[in-house]
């Protein structure tokens, strides 16, 4: 009998890894620091996912149920890993509840932390209640109650979505693109327009990065079918005239200042490294890359490996990532871990 594979994190990549291992007959111990599995899509109440259009509670919720009902998967909720020692095929794991267990390999599926918009105070978050984040709008949409201005509950007639909040911003130490924000923002804009056809939605951008096949489905469709308006601009600040929010900056195409009123302003927040990454790095003895994400090995040798043999990584733990790619990486890491533990078992039997 092989030792179980330890999976840290119960988001999309962790659920995918757990299912792939269990389907191959491998025992799994899944450790999740929260009470609820599902990661950000469930814990943060995401609405419709890109690109499938499925509701997060259904798509990711189905992944949760599949793992929860699998007898090969032992789930440890409200727990973290406090100590991790040994080598490939023979690791010793100590959990925060004092439990000690053995593992043949580990997969870090620890995800990311949403950028906190209080770190961008000039754009109004925390000062004006009707300045919200994309995550908050997702929650409004998934609740079924529709998008409303938090200040008084009214339906907004004009909504501005500001891209790259907490991304591509050297002044606040965020020197990376968060990869999915442009597409998610276009998706949210279309959902708002579908629910409230009289509401005008404007997206303010530095560059649009609806990469790959998302260009047609989100960038062009949001404009041509849903009449979402895109404005290339540098935003200086978000203020208020006492009745409406005022977005101030420069239209960089025509080189002129702008000062435009809105009922609601939405921050398209980026993906920060997990706030626990320094602790994870110390506990698992794995390296972090310069921005604080978990460093992975060369993609040409083993895309799932970390700097420590026997410890693998998947999903947004290594940097901004889509849900679909996180799921694929979870399966890849699962196969790498499976090969390791079964190889160790065969060597021990010889």
Domain boundaries, the chain: 5-111+274-349, 117-271
The mean pLDDT values, 10 residues at a time, for the chain of 350 residues are 92 98 98 98 97 96 98 98 97 97 98 96 97 98 95 97 97 95 98 96 97 95 98 97 96 95 98 98 98 91 92 98 97 96 78
For residue 207, what pLDDT is reported?
Answer: 95
Q: Which superfamily, per CATH, for 117-271?
A: FAD/NAD(P)-binding domain (3.50.50.60)
For residue 350, what pLDDT is reported?
Answer: 67
For residue 1, what pLDDT is reported?
Answer: 61
For residue 156, what pLDDT is reported?
Answer: 98
Within this chain, domains 5-111+274-349 and 117-271 share the same CATH topology: yes
For residue 152, what pLDDT is reported?
Answer: 96
Which helix (H) or strand (E) segment holds residue 12: the answer is: helix 12-23
* Residues 5 and 103 sit within 8 Å (Cβ to Cβ): yes
For residue 2, what pLDDT is reported?
Answer: 81
For residue 299, what pLDDT is reported?
Answer: 78
Q: Which superfamily, per CATH, for 5-111+274-349?
A: FAD/NAD(P)-binding domain (3.50.50.60)
For residue 317, what pLDDT is reported?
Answer: 98
């Amino acid at each position: 009998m092989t030792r179980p594979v330890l999976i840290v994190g119960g988001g999309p990549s962790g659920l995918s890894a757990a299912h792939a291992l269990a389907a191959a007959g491998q025992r799994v111990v899944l450790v999740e620091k929260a009470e609820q599995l599902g990661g950000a899509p469930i814990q943060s109440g995401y609405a419709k996912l890109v690109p499938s259009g499925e509701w997060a509670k259904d798509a990711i919720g189905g992944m949760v149920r599949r793992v929860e009902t699998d007898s090969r998967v032992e789930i440890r909720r409200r727990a973290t890993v406090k100590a991790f020692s040994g080598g490939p095929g023979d690791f010793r794991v100590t959990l925060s509840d004092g439990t000690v267990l053995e593992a043949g390999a580990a997969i870090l599926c620890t995800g990311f932390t949403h950028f906190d918009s209080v770190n961008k105070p000039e754009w109004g978050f925390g000062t004006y209640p009707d300045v919200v984040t994309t995550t908050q709008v997702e929650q409004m949409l998934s609740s079924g109650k529709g998008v409303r201005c938090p200040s008084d509950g009214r339906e907004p007639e004009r909504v501005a979505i500001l891209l790259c909040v907490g991304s591509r911003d050297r002044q606040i130490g965020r020197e990376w693109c968060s990869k999915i924000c442009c597409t998610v923002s276009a998706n949210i804009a279309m959902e708002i327009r579908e629910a409230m056809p009289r509401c005008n939605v404007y997206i303010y951008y530095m560059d649009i990065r609806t990469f790959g096949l998302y260009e047609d489905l989100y960038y062009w469709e949001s404009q041509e079918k849903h009449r979402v308006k895109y404005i290339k601009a540098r935003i200086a600040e978000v203020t208020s005239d006492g009745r409406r929010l005022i977005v101030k900056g420069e239209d960089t195409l025509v080189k002129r200042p702008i000062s435009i009123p809105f009922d609601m302003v939405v921050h398209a927040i980026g993906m920060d490294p997990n706030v626990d990454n320094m602790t994870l790095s110390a506990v698992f003895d794995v390296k972090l890359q310069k921005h604080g994400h978990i460093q992975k090995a060369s993609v040409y040798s083993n895309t799932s490996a970390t700097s420590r043999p026997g410890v693998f990584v998947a999903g947004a733990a290594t940097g901004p990532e889509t849900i679909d790619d996180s799921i694929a990486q979870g399966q890849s890491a699962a196969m790498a871990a499976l090969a390791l533990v079964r190889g160790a078992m065969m060597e021990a039997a010889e």
